[in-house]
A and B are shown apart, each in its own frame.
Chain A
Amino acid sequence: DGGITQSPKYLFRKEGQNVTLSCEQNLNHDAMYWYRQDPGQGLRLIYYSQIVNDFQKGDIAEGYSVSREKKESFPLTVTSAQKNPTAFYLCASSIDLRILNEQFFGPGTRLTVL
């Protein structure tokens, strides 16, 4: 079955700790994205990537970092610099950023910082 997996589903961390959220896809998509969802805020773009070793900042990149060492994987690190990290994080992919097409989403990771 093709799709996007995110792990873990729930994550708890102490304030001041960095934490890495996993995202893997087997759809052979070039483009991958990270979104943050807060109640009533919709989806806000954190980072996106079209190819390996290349990624771009989205609207709210401060306090986050990503890597794209493999086409299938796009992990997101929430650093201690992120002021309010508690949120629901969604990873998505699409065929290619340069063409119009829909996105496919993972099940999300709910991060709670205590």
Chain B
Amino acid sequence: AQKVTQAQTEISVVEKEDVTLDCVYETRDTTYYLFWYKQPPSGELVFLIRRNSFDEQNEISGRYSWNFQKSTSSFNFTITASQVVDSAVYFCALSAYTSGGSYIPTFGRGTSLIVHP
């Protein structure tokens, strides 16, 4: 069985602060993908990043960075110098092989990030 835990339900910061969103996952598979999605107030989820289980390199994209650590089963997301436009719900997801022969993602419950001006 797969499981994704986002323990932080809501985080509130002031603009320009750095913030880290935690994601811990469980799977018995050795081949899997991890994802982060952003859901702004409009409602549509937007894909941010995917990372496969064999690539533990950290990734940086502008103000966003991701830290993948297999040893702790974590895939954390950091926003540097947060902005009001970063306010959204962020979902972490895991996709691993199911007994039915397909890869069905499992989502965490999401972390609501509120950035105050």
- Contact yes or no, A100 B95, CB < 8 A: yes
State the interface size on chain A (CB cutoff 8 A): 25
A-B contact pairs, 18 of them (CB 8 A): A40-B9, A42-B91, A42-B110, A43-B91, A45-B104, A48-B104, A56-B100, A88-B43, A97-B102, A101-B33, A102-B33, A103-B105, A104-B47, A105-B44, A105-B45, A107-B43, A108-B44, A110-B43
In the complex formed, the residue of B with least CB distance to A98 is B102
User: Which B residues lie at the A interface, using CB under 8 A?
Assistant: 9, 31-33, 35, 37, 42-47, 50, 52, 91, 95, 100-105, 107-110
Give min CB distance, A28 to chain B, whole Å.
17
A25 in the interface (beta carbon within 8 A): no
> With A42-B91, A100-B52 known to touch, is A107 a contact of B102 (CB < 8 Å)?
no
In the complex formed, the residue of B with least CB distance to A106 is B44
Tell me the complex Cα distance, A58–B9, Å.
Answer: 24
Indicate which residue in B9, B31, B32, B47 contacts A103 across the interface (CB closer than 8 Å). Answer: B47
Tell me the complex Cα distance, A33–B23, Å.
Answer: 23
Other than the given A50-B102, A108-B44, 5 more pairs (CB < 8 A) read: A42-B107, A97-B102, A102-B50, A105-B45, A108-B43
Give min CB distance, A22 to chain B, whole Å.
15
Give min CB distance, B10 to chain A, whole Å.
10
Give min CB distance, A35 to chain B, whole Å.
8
Residues 32 to 53 of chain A near chain B (Cβ within 8 Å) = 40-43, 45, 48, 50
Residues of B near A90 (CB, < 8 A) are 43, 45
Q: Per-position contact with B for A49-90: 1 when CB-CB < 8 Å, else 0?
A: 010000010100000000000000000000000000000101
In the complex formed, the residue of B with least CB distance to A43 is B107
Residues of B near A105 (CB, < 8 A) are 37, 44-46
- Contact yes or no, A100 B104, CB < 8 A: no
Indicate which residue in A40, A41, A42, A98 contacts B101 across the interface (CB closer than 8 Å). Answer: A98
